[in-house]
Each structure stands twice: as structure tokens, then as C-alpha cells.
Amino acid sequence: MNRFILIWLAPMLATAMPSARAGGDPAAGKAVFARCASCHQVGPSARGAFGPQLNGIVGRPAAEAGDFKYSEAMRRSGIVWSEQTLAAFIRSPGNVVPGTAMRFFGLGSEGRIEDLIAYLKSFDADGNPAGAVPSGAARRP
Ligand code: HEC
């Protein structure tokens, strides 16, 4: 029985390590984000520029950044960004949100999209390293 618990636990512990590969590779994703960084920011001082800031984007409803003026299309999309919808949007923005103001030809490679999403997931809603503090403790009232 103990053996089975260990087998189950080992990958969980591995994914808890910051450097471990959990789906995508955040370090590689940082390089991919260079493609987005002309329009988007992440991190504690991120703000809206050509595009909205992307802190805590996985799990964030579309068009939520208060300091960015979104298109009608994005505001009405009703999307809550998940890894799936993000991957699809990055591959082809106009197919997921027809009429979006995001002008981007899309990233083709599945592996690079995974890495990119892993990188984006490393920022919490305030742009701090996700998982550095127990979730809840970082939230302000
Ligand atoms: C040429 C500028 C530009 C580039 C490059 C770009 N974006 Fe965008 N992005 C935008 C704009 C503008 C919007 C707002 C779209 C709207 O309002 O319809 C946006 C919106 C988004 C949203 C929705 C955000 C929200 O708050 O709902 C996500 C997610 C996103 N972009 C991810 C990316 C990623 C990841 C990349 C790189 C692979 C990227 N974008 C590249 C301009 C860009």
C-alpha cells in the first residue's frame, strides 16, 4: 500500500518544485513570451499597454484588467481563460474571439504554447510568483 502512495506522491512533489516540468517549461515559456511582450506585460508592475496585463490570466475572466479598454468582442466573449481556451486563442485569436482587437498571427507549435502557458501561470493575480505563498494568504480583502 505504501508503495502505491509513494508512486502517486512522487510526481506531485516533483511538480511542486519550481524548476520541475509540469506540462510546459516556464523558463522556455519566458523566451516565447518575447512574442507577446511588445503588447503585454506581466509582473508586479504590469499595466495595460498595447494589450492588457496578463497577471493570473489562467482562471481570469476575459476583459477584466481595469486599466485597459477592450474591444466589444472581448467584453462580450463570456470567456474565463483556461489553459484550453488560452491555447486556442494564442493559436488563432480571431477564431476564438471573432472581432478581437488582438492582432497576432498565432503560435503554431503545441510545445511552445504549453511552455508559454506554464510561464504565464507562474504569475499570480498581483504579478507575484504563483505558489510562493499559500493561495488565500496573498489575497487582499
Ligand atoms: C500586437 C499586439 C499584441 C500581441 C503581439 C499579442 N497580443 Fe494579446 N492582446 C492584444 C490586444 C490589443 C488585446 C485586447 C483584445 C481585445 O480587446 O479584443 C489582447 C488580449 C489578449 C488576451 C485576453 C486578455 C484578457 O484580459 O481577457 C490574452 C490572454 C492575450 N492577449 C494573450 C496574448 C499572448 C499569450 C500573446 C503572445 C503569444 C499575445 N497576446 C500577443 C494585443 C497583442
What is the tens place of the pLDDT at every residue in 41-66?
999 999 999 999 999 999 999 999 99
The protein residue with its alpha carbon nearest to ligand 1, atom 27, reads 62
Alpha-carbon span 74 to 47, nearest angstrom: 18
What pLDDT sits at residue 29? 97
pTM recorded for the entire structure: 0.82
Which residues are 80's β-sheet partners? Answer: 61
For residues 125-139, give the mean pLDDT: 72
14 CA distance to ligand 1 middle (Å): 31
Nearest-atom index, ligand 1, CA of 103: 1
The per-residue pLDDT of the chain, averaged, comes to 85
What are the structural domains of the chain?
Answer: 24-120 (1.10.760.10)
User: How far from 14 is each of 2, 23, 113, CA to CA, in Å?
Assistant: 18, 12, 21
Residue 131 is predicted with a pLDDT of 77
Task: Please list the helix, strand and coil fractions of the chain in percent, rounded to the nearest 5, in that order.
Answer: 40, 5, 60
pLDDT band of 103, cuts 50, 70, 90: very high
Write out residues with Cβ below 6 Å of ligand 1. 35-36, 38-40, 50-52, 54, 57, 62-65, 70-71, 73-74, 81, 86, 89-90, 100-104, 107, 116
d(CA 5, ligand 1 centre) in Å: 42
**For a pLDDT cut of 70, what percent of the chain falls above it?**
77
Task: Report the pLDDT value the prediction gives residue 106, as an integer from 0 to 100.
Answer: 85
The whole-number pLDDT of residue 57 equals: 98
- Kindly tell me if the per-residue pLDDT of 88 is higher than 80: yes
pLDDT of residue 67: 97
